[in-house]
Amino acid sequence: MSSVLDEVLSANRVYAEEFGDKGALALPPARRFAILTCMDARLDPAGFAGLAEGDAHVIRNAGGRASDDAIRSLVISHKLLGTREWFVIHHTDCGMELFTDSVMGELLAEDLHTAQFTEGRWQNQGAAGGSPEGRYVKWLTFTHLEGSVREDVERIRRHPLVPAEIPVHGFVYDVRSGRLLPVK
The per-residue pLDDT for range 129-143, each reduced to its tens digit, is 899 999 999 999 999
Q: What is the CATH number of domain 28-97+141-184?
A: 3.40.1050.10
Residue 165 confidence (pLDDT): 97
Distance CA 17, CA 74 (A): 32
pLDDT reading at 128 higher than 90: no
Residue 105 confidence (pLDDT): 97
Q: Across residues 30-40, what is the average pLDDT?
A: 98
Q: Where are the domains of the chain?
A: 28-97+141-184, 100-138
pLDDT digits (tens, 9 = 90+) for 56-87: 999 999 999 999 999 999 999 999 999 999 99
Long-range contacts of 68-75 (CB under 8 A, 24+ apart): 70/36, 71/155, 71/156, 71/159, 71/161, 71/162, 73/34, 73/36, 74/34, 74/36, 74/156, 74/162, 75/159, 75/161, 75/162
- pTM of this prediction? 0.94
pLDDT digits (tens, 9 = 90+) for 118-127: 999 999 998 8
pLDDT reading at 1 higher than 80: no
Distance CA 88, CA 37 (A): 6
Q: What single-letter DSSP state applies at residue 111?
A: B
Q: Across residues 79-102, what is the average pLDDT?
A: 97
pLDDT reading at 93 higher than 90: yes
DSSP string, 166-180: S-EEEEEE-TTT--E
pLDDT reading at 36 higher than 90: yes
pLDDT band, residue 99 (cuts 50/70/90): very high
